[in-house]
Amino acid sequence: MTTDSAHAPTTHRTAASGTRPADLRRTGTPRRRRPRRDSVAGYVFLSPWLLGFVGLTLGPMLASLYLAFTDYNLFTAPEWTGLDNLTRMANDDRFWGSVKITLIYVLVGTPIKLAAALAVAMLLNYKARGTAFFRSAFYAPSLIGASVSIAIVWRAMFSTDGPVDGTLSLFGITMGGWIGNPSLIMPMMILLAVWQFGAPMVIFLAGLKGVPAELYEAASVDGAKAWRKFISVTIPMLSPVIFFNLLLEMINAFQIFASAYIIGSGTGGPGGATNFYTVYLYTRAFTNNQMGYASAMAWVLLLAVGVLAFILFRTSKNWVHYAGDSK
Amino acid sequence: MTTIESNPAVPVPVDPENRRQSGPRRRPMRRHIPTALWIVGILALTAVVLYPLLWMVSASLKPNSEFGSNQGFFPENPTFDNFVKVMQGIAGIPTWKFFLNSLILGVGAVIGTVISSSMAAYAFSRINFRGSKILFAAMIGTLLLPFHVLIIPQYIIFRNLGLIDTFWPLLAGKFLATEAFFVFLMVQFIRNLPRELDEAARIDGCGHGRIFLSITLPLIKPALITSSIFAFIWSWNDFLGPLLYLNSPDKYPLPLALRIFNDQTSTSDYGATIAISVLALLPVMLFFIIFQRFLVDGVATQGLKG
């Protein structure tokens, strides 16, 4: 995505077709190219966003950074405690429990979800006809999957008398209900995430349509079998889309809240199995009124997401190929 | 951003002679998969994916006596009792009130999002002003920002403003374009519009306000529709926001009402809990069926989250 073209000055085009060189702005001419009224108009149009950005995003970010080093219960003034919150966090078993299940959910659930999305996208891409219907049908869960309604339904479906156990018992498998069993909560939550494979699938499908058929032909001519083509043509050509989906889905997965909160009835139970990071953060902040501790948790989350994004961007140079790039 | 343009200039490592023999432009892999098998596979997958939705509709029609005893998919004695019961409400509040609250929040979210995001998008894509690049980068940065970093200070702000237990904390962000996805979607759309129309209007003496209202807004209608539907559905499904800010049950939107049903009645009145879940999803599914193309295309081209 290039921002340059969109931000070229409005006089740019006329200048290009006229006598002045088109690139005056970049060569640093002293001539003033931005009429004053444009700057005024720009900020007038931007004022709602700017107010929101400063008042509801940037300001709160800095405020929570400050609160992370304080003890604050909402009723008395915040008290500076230095790194106290961090050392308490390091010794907090429930905190580490929430970190563990959230990381499993993100690092195991997201790749499974994306693999499902890619597999179905390739299946749909085989045939040109009728894909619009299936594309929409598969997308529907993404739209509603994080809602309270679906969390309630999921809970019911995986309960002792629910249809999932009912179906499994036909094959002689007895689970005895997933909801009360701490070790079965994670597979259930991951299944809920995988069920919402539609959104990344739609993006994969758009990417697959852009892979030139010639590349597959060429691979066939060279004697490549289906698997080889998948590894050597599909994956490299799709790598920018894979990267985008991975980044977005992982960041979203860190923020799972409503499903975990409803399925665990807001308690994080059973045995802390639904005590996902955001659920614990919410409990600390709004049930225990420990705003300082929760703010520290929020910043640890932000740093974790930042580190993950950094790693993805860093390693992307090795595996993300953009069409037209020389190797 | 997410789509790869098919690039005819991509070097194909094959010599011209072989190339000519390769025949019609078909992906050779396709030949090996019989169409019938493909259809069976895709239909089976559709059944699995849609099963939870079909199951919840079926379960909502089962009388309570059948839960536990009738493991089958279909209710033996289908009844609308669950729906009748659930419409009476909970905690002394009639259920239509929860729908009304959700509707007010949803419509407010749509109005706020459309106005504020389109203004910001116009500024980013059509006005050249000092600092536009860095602000645009900041806007893109907020796409990746976990919302939970902001909830505590935001809560403190709205508490100090005396706005707890009102709809304002839930709507303020919408009127201030804090959801960068919508701004980004509209920016992408405006960038694809021909600038000549703006130029012509400018020559005719129009300022930015006039160009925005008379030229840009009518032309980005598809992006406005997509944004409106997503804004409505996200607001309709939002659980964390209302959980933070609303205390009085008569101000609850559906997700919070569902939570009461779930906590208070799920063991005793299973059918009613499922029935209200069906009712809460119904408007979203209707929107989806009517506007699916806008939604799915929005996702395909912009990488909007679901």
What CATH architecture is B95-302? Answer: Orthogonal Bundle (1.10)
B97, B163 contact by CB (below 8 A): no
Contact by Cβ (8 Å): B140, B184: yes
More confident residue, B136 or B33: B136
Torsion of CA A93, A94, A98, A99, to 10 degrees: -30
| Domain boundaries, given as residue ranges, for chain B | 16-79, 95-302
Residue A31, pLDDT above cutoff 60 = no
Position with higher pLDDT, B10 vs B287:
B287
pLDDT in tens, B206-226: 999 999 999 999 999 989 999
Nearest to A199 by CA among B301, B182, B48: B301
Q: Do A210 and B4 touch (CB under 8 A)?
A: yes
Question: Measuring CA to CA, which residue among B112, B132, B34 is closest to residue A8?
Answer: B132
Rounded to whole angstroms, what are the CA distances from A289 to A230, A323, B155, B241? 52, 52, 12, 17
Arithmetic mean of pLDDT over chain A: 85
What is residue A15's predicted lDDT score, i.e. its pLDDT? Answer: 36
pLDDT at A20 > cutoff 60: no
Domain ranges, ordered by start, for chain A:
1-51, 88-319
- Domain A88-319 class in CATH: mainly alpha
Which member of B10, B132, B155 has the closest CB to residue A7?
B132
With CB atoms and an 8 Å threshold, state whether A57 touches B148: no
* Chain A residue with the nearest C-alpha to that of B57: A153
The pair of structure tokens assigned to A157 is: 């479906």
Residue in A closest to B253 by C-alpha: A148
Residue A136 has pLDDT above 70, yes or no: yes
Ramachandran class of B131: left when φ > 0, alpha when ψ lies in -120 to 50, beta otherwise: left
Helix (H) or strand (E) holding A70: strand A70-71
Q: What is the pLDDT of residues A66-125, one digit of tens each?
A: 999 999 998 899 999 999 999 999 999 999 999 999 999 999 999 999 999 999 999 998
Taking contacts as CB-CB distances below 8 angstroms, the residues of chain A near B10 are 212, 214-215, 323-324
Does residue A57 contact residue B145 with C-beta atoms inside 8 Å? yes
* pLDDT tens profile B119-168: 999 999 999 888 899 999 999 999 889 999 999 999 999 999 999 999 99
Closest CB to A152: pick one of B55, B244, B273.
B273
Percentage of chain B lying above the pLDDT 70 cut: 84
- The pLDDT, as a whole number, for residue A30 is 47
Whether B16 has its CB under 8 Å from any CB of chain A: the answer is no
Q: Please, which residues 235-274 of chain A have a Cβ atom closer than 8 Å to chain B? A: 237-238, 240-241, 244-245, 247-248, 251-252, 254-255, 257-258, 261-262, 265-266
Nearest-Cα distance to chain B for A226, in Å, is 6
- Looking at the complex, does the CB of residue A61 fall below 8 Å from at least one CB of chain B? yes
Phi, psi of A259 (to 5 degrees): -60, -45
ipTM for this model:
0.84
**Chain A residue with minimum CA distance to B127:** A42
Q: How far is B25 from chain A (nearest CA, A)?
A: 7
**A163: which chain B residues are within 8 Å (Cβ-Cβ)?**
55, 71, 73
A277 Cβ contact partners less than 8 Å away, ≥ 6 residues apart: A98, A99, A102, A254, A297, A301
* Lowest model confidence (mean pLDDT) among A80-89, B9-18, B134-143, B290-299: B9-18
Structure tokens at A32: 């003033």
Token pair for B165? 């237990």
Tell me: the pLDDT tens digits for A246-295? 999 999 999 999 999 999 888 887 888 999 999 999 999 999 999 999 99
pTM across the whole model: 0.85
The model's confidence at residue A6, banded by pLDDT at 50, 70 and 90, is very low
Least-confidence region, from A52-61, B62-71, B124-133: B62-71
**Three-class SS state of A300:** helix
Q: What pLDDT is attached to residue A226?
A: 86
CB contact under 8 A, B136 and A3: yes
Q: What is the mean pLDDT of chain B?
A: 84
Contact residues, chain B, for A8 at CB < 8 Å: 128
pLDDT at B267: 58
